[in-house]
Amino acid sequence: MKKTVLFILFVLQVALLSGQGKNSRIANLRSFDERPLHFGFLIGINTMDFRVYNTGKAINEQGDVMYGDVLTLTPGLNIGIVSSYKLANNLNLRFLPGISFGQRNLSYIHYDKDGNFLEREEPIKIKSTFLEFPLLLKYNAFRMHNAKPYLIGGFNARYDLAKNKQDRLLLTSLDGYFEFGAGFDFYLTYFRLSVEAKASIGLANILNPDGTGEPGDMAYTQALNELNSRIFCLTFYFE
């Protein structure tokens, strides 16, 4: 993962340097925004998280309670292609199909009936490989020489190719996400580079209440009332 981050930073630095030089005051790609349709690719870094809703119910006869939570975030990778259609002067419709890889570490903490801490288990490592199909609207501000800020929002359907039967939990594979974010377009000599920060809020409860089918695993499902996905991305677009 560190090599991937370094590669992205290296490509970004080379791209920015390519747009500078003696003619840095000249506006690059003057007709770029006039095109009705253009394409490109994206690469980015993500962190996947859960919004956890606990039941607070006892898991044994002694009245012990178990709470789940994501205590640490693990970086992941997303790649995809860009198709952008101009709807109006400051508005584009963007379809960004791709694939993303990530992991969520769900920890369970045990308390007795009086609220005293007992133990924290090793986290469940929930690895995901998502097929993504975002359809987003991009609202562009006015161009400032070779840079332009923008806002983005829309809907993303994700399907998890990883097995939905995780260690101790059973999750559903399909979920819909509301996405919103902001970024900057940089017009370089030969292409446009965009840097974007975006949040994805899962709309469905992806916890399967039936559990894995193993009697020893039921406590992990019964401790939770609902799991909602949260994904945060820093993405670089090359168009």
The DSSP-derived string for 9-63 is HHHHHHHHHHT-STTTTSPSSTTGGG-SEEEEEEEEEEEEEEEEEE---B-STT-
The domain tally of the chain equals 1
pTM comes to 0.86
How far apart, in whole angstroms, are the C-alpha atoms of residue 194 and residue 140? 12
Report the pLDDT averaged over residues 79-108.
Answer: 96
Amino acid at 48: M
Q: What is the CATH number of the domain that holds 204?
A: 2.40.160
Domain boundaries, position 85: 2-21+31-238
How far apart, in whole angstroms, are the C-alpha atoms of residue 107 and residue 169? 12
How far apart, in whole angstroms, are the C-alpha atoms of residue 171 and residue 202? 13
Query: Is 82 contained in some domain?
Result: yes
| Helix, coil or strand: residue 211 | coil
Query: Is 124 contained in some domain?
Result: yes
* Confidence band for 127, pLDDT divided at 50, 70 and 90: very high
Query: Is 26 contained in some domain?
Result: no
- Higher per-residue pLDDT: 84 or 25: 84
Query: Is 166 contained in some domain?
Result: yes
* Confidence band for 43, pLDDT divided at 50, 70 and 90: very high
Q: Percentage of residues in the chain with pLDDT exceeding 70?
A: 88
How far apart, in whole angstroms, are the C-alpha atoms of residue 17 and residue 93? 29
